A and B are shown apart, each in its own frame.
Chain A
């Protein structure tokens, strides 16, 4: 099958790639753009390891088609740190030991970032429910929740 040409913006950079129409956005990010920070845990929208921010909304990139990226703005984990400076969430995840194996971490960070963009002062409950689409098998979530709440606090204080 002939491939389709897609032009898109990823982490602020203009990107182009060729893809098969059956490929997902996650496939394109990983296999065509070498952005392997987004992970495939299930491919069916159940684990959140592939979470990216698509036009301002957090989505499972395994459920979007690669061709849907045409003309769109996409943020991935690779764009979260700025000029070598970690995002507060990234810093807090390290301080709180909120990752063990780290496979869920990129997706959880993207989902948390999107939460804090919409809700600067989430409650514990709100964080738990917001992240309910992001599976973590290692941590039992406790340290993740603490890291997000602590990051929210620091972001409020620094802005």
Chain B
């Protein structure tokens, strides 16, 4: 029976829009998020953070807390493992500073008290002696001669020798000979672009409740995109075994990549270990802004050559990303995604990883790709304008297809970029006349998507219902998709499946919910686990009938004898088999453990109409359309939700959101009032079109959808704004002051 690799094209449940199984808890306030857990006797932990951008820590004096009965534990760096290296050391250094404060908000020490109010008072009494060091927060400034060096000797061997010590990573990819390609061009445009850092802006601050027993066994409850990773990181930072730290993922109030990193859990565990009591820690919103990872800010140089007919002859780009006071910015991703939508004979992508006195950048939806698309798609738009070409036709002319060599190396399998562009071309939005004063912008975007380690378990209950355990936190409705998949495979009603996010002691390792991987990888694992269960159901029925396994087959929820030779048996339903399974061989459980590859890249095309008020510099977005290839949408409503959410975040990043540092390197807008994310009245309806070009690497054709949606908006809006105001905008966000400045410079 080839149950295993069968690809499915016709569906009963997949593609419908059932109510999510965790819905009632979430609309009644009963769902338990990170901060919603309590334990008897728990303490409250608070972190003391550096007010300086760059300083040597000379002394941490906690003597004023010595006789304070409310203070149950104090921890500093010396309470963590002393022998970490590489990225483990970086994570620890970010979780708790060693000898230097590296950015405004860097953790210096932590206390635990019986109440939150006491903890807030206590932390203020710690005296830290700093010696201030010169700092730098801008990516270009950080590479200038004389810029303070964040850390010597971090540069990877790939970095050319003569580069500034703050440049710690270097990437180069591409093919052909760009010099030759540029000679063939009729028009070449080369421009520099800058983008500021944006925060993921999840509404739920990081929160955890932990308990460290005297025997070294730890329990952690926290909001995270990857609880298995939390267990691994906590164990390393505390110098204990990963299996001794059991992590349960709470419901998660948004992450967008920002909750793939670990910040407070190891600190809470260290406090709990010292105090021998449970410890709860919840970040304030300003801590979230100051000390958790925003995305990188960038400086980019892009050069594209084009023929009169719109054919791109060559493209090159240098993408400089600062990732805070640590190596690891997604500069390689910027470089690799930049020209990915286009089939180019000559292309060169270069990335620089730069360190600055800012918080350690964390992933934010398709890390690196949106900024690169902003630069590339802006230049393409200018080329189209100068050569009087239609922006969609020009993109179609250069678009990658199945078999095209990607700008980052491999050949594409089946992909859907052309389909999104064709759909855009005939969309009522693109055909509608522009309103007075508005500019229309379009952009393509690309993201790789990801598979990764995945382990799920599907257990059959005696009444024929099924219970699925997965290890990827449900960040936006994935339980619904998983229940649909089980229902589809086993032909049992959707409501008869229960999906649970299992803790780290229950399943094999599961990679973080990131890289748009959950519906792809956990979905694939769920399909395979269900097929494993079907195989076991068939085997059980066969043995009940005294037949060989291959003498029976599975059809729509029943095991049937395979032919006249198999004898005359009434088909057995799942319920029939489940009812007797205790007596006929024991529990029936389907499994899947692997690291699925073949995630299937995805492309999108966005269309936007925007208008700039030349007096105030304010931009209003009037109409927005997202067209994206989902491969196969399991639950279309949540796919649309991912499209809309990514577009909304992109609109915020393009027009308004930015990290603003003062001359001392202190963050000036660490709150939702001054770091203003889009509110309901800022946004238009965001229209969506789901294109379905099946991913050959998935039995249903699923591609990840969570990240690609944020790739085109920066560029699409920049193109719309530039068209409205008649000036090319080269810096994000295009906030009113920046637009007014551009208008002024253009006039003068």
A residues lining the B interface (CB < 8 Å): 20, 22-23, 27, 30-31, 34-44, 46-47, 49, 76-78, 80-81, 86, 90, 93-97, 99-106, 109, 125, 127-129, 131-145
Contacts and interface: CB of A to CB of B under 8 A. Distances in A.
Among B115, B204, B251, the one with the most A-chain Cβ atoms within 10 Å of its Cβ is B204
A138 B640 CA distance: 11
A84 to B, nearest CB: 10
A143 B27 contact: no
B108 interface: no
Interface in B415-461: none
B701 interface: no
A102 B26 contact: yes
Contacts of B640: 97, 143
A44 B202 contact: no
Among B22, B202, B254, the one with the most A-chain Cβ atoms within 10 Å of its Cβ is B254
A135 B679 contact: yes
Interface residues of B, number: 61
Interface stretch (B31-39, B157-165, B488-496, B594-602): B31-39
Contacts of B202: 101, 103, 137
A106 B26 CA distance: 8
Nearest to A86: B27
5 cross-chain pairs, A with B, having the tightest CB-CB distances, nearest first: A37-B29, A103-B253, A140-B644, A140-B648, A102-B26
Contacts of B36: 30, 36
Contacts of B635: 97
Interface stretch (B262-270, B549-557, B680-688): B680-688
A23 B116 CA distance: 10
B637 A41 contact: no
Given A46-B673, A140-B644, A100 B638 contact: yes
Given A39-B203, A138-B641, A143-B644, A103 B28 contact: no
Nearest to A141: B680
Among B285, B638, B642, the one with the most A-chain Cβ atoms within 10 Å of its Cβ is B285
A120 B19 CA distance: 26
A39 B253 contact: yes
B20 A94 contact: yes
A67 B477 CA distance: 38
> What does DSSP make chain B's interface, helix, strand, loop or mixed?
loop
B26 A132 contact: no
B742 to A, nearest CB: 27
B518 interface: no
Given A100-B476, A142-B686, A143-B644, 17 more contacts: A31-B38, A41-B285, A44-B285, A49-B203, A78-B30, A80-B27, A94-B20, A97-B17, A97-B477, A100-B254, A101-B252, A132-B679, A137-B200, A137-B254, A138-B645, A139-B648, A143-B640
Contact of A101 (B35, B253, B682): B253
A46 B203 contact: no
30 contacts: A30-B35, A35-B29, A36-B32, A41-B253, A41-B672, A43-B284, A44-B673, A46-B285, A80-B29, A81-B27, A86-B24, A97-B638, A100-B254, A101-B253, A101-B254, A102-B22, A102-B251, A103-B251, A127-B680, A134-B679, A135-B679, A137-B200, A137-B254, A138-B254, A139-B645, A140-B644, A140-B678, A141-B648, A141-B680, A142-B644
A145 B680 contact: yes
Nearest to A106: B29
A93 B19 contact: no
Contacts of A96: 637
Contact of A100 (B31, B201, B641, B672): B641
Contacts of B27: 80-81, 86, 90, 93-94, 99, 102, 105-106, 109
B205 interface: yes
Contacts of B30: 37, 78
Nearest to A110: B29
B2 interface: no
B29 A137 contact: no
Given A135-B203, A140-B647, A102 B31 contact: yes
Contacts of A135: 203, 672, 677, 679
Contacts of A101: 202-204, 251-255, 475-476
Given A128-B680, A142-B644, A97 B637 contact: yes
B211 interface: no
B170 to A, nearest CB: 34
A131 B204 contact: no
Given A86-B24, A97-B20, A102-B251, A132 B475 contact: no
Contacts of A90: 27-28
Contact of A137 (B33, B282, B677): B677
B19 A129 contact: no
A43 B285 contact: yes
Interface string B187-217: 0000000000000111111000000000000
B680 A131 contact: yes
A155 to B, nearest CB: 16
Contacts of A40: 35, 205, 282
B326 interface: no
Contacts of A47: 203, 285, 672
A77 B30 CA distance: 9
Contacts of A100: 254, 475-477, 638, 641-642, 645
B26 A105 contact: yes
Given A103-B203, A104-B203, A137-B254, A97 B641 contact: yes
Contacts of B29: 35-38, 76-78, 80, 106
Given A44-B671, A135-B203, A39 B33 contact: yes
B737 interface: no
Nearest to B637: A97
Interface in B522-573: none
A63 B672 CA distance: 15
A80 B28 CA distance: 7
Contacts of B685: 142, 145
Contacts of A134: 679-680
B649 interface: yes
A94 B680 contact: no
B121 to A, nearest CB: 10
A41 B683 contact: no
B256 interface: yes
Among A49, A106, A139, the one with the most B-chain Cβ atoms within 10 Å of its Cβ is A139
Contacts of B726: none
B722 to A, nearest CB: 23
B587 interface: no
